[in-house]
Amino acid sequence: MAEVKNTEEKKNSNDREKLKKRYIQKNQNIYRIVSKIKLWPARSGVLHSVKTIERKGGLTTITTYCGETFTVWDSKNSRSARWLRNRWYREPCPKCGIPDWKLSKYSTTVFSHMKNGKI
């Protein structure tokens, strides 16, 4: 019986770790958001996993694991910034192979106005 309780406690602690919220400041430019999350919503609604991200002045070049390259303006109010903050996407990219843990972590991420590290 003691073994069963221990495994149940382990399962509950794993569930708590999975549901732990991650806080990111809301009004940041695209470069900072994508650097932290490592996901990119394309215009078609497909969510890609980011391999590299480079800043070139006011432009940001994003390369995904499926080989696509996006060059976007580094903006706070762009379509992609809104989609990332609101966690909108139609489907994950099958070529990028985004793991389930990354999608669940992204879905529990909270974007809020933070001041001095406090919400």
102/109 Cα distance (integer angstroms): 11
pLDDT digits (tens, 9 = 90+) for 39-86: 999 889 899 999 999 999 999 999 999 999 999 998 888 888 888 888
Domain boundaries, the chain: 28-100
71/87 Cα distance (integer angstroms): 21
Predicted confidence at residue 114, as pLDDT, reads 62
State the residue for tokens 């669940």. 104
Helices (H), 20-119: 30-37, 79-86, 100-108
Triad 73, 103, 119: Cα angle to 5°:
70
Predicted confidence at residue 19, as pLDDT, reads 63
47/92 Cα distance (integer angstroms): 5
70 touches 61 (CB < 8 A): yes
34/30 Cα distance (integer angstroms): 6
Predicted confidence at residue 18, as pLDDT, reads 56
Predicted confidence at residue 115, as pLDDT, reads 57
More reliable by pLDDT, 112 or 58:
58
* pLDDT over 60 (residue 7): no
pLDDT digits (tens, 9 = 90+) for 12-32: 445 545 567 766 667 778 888
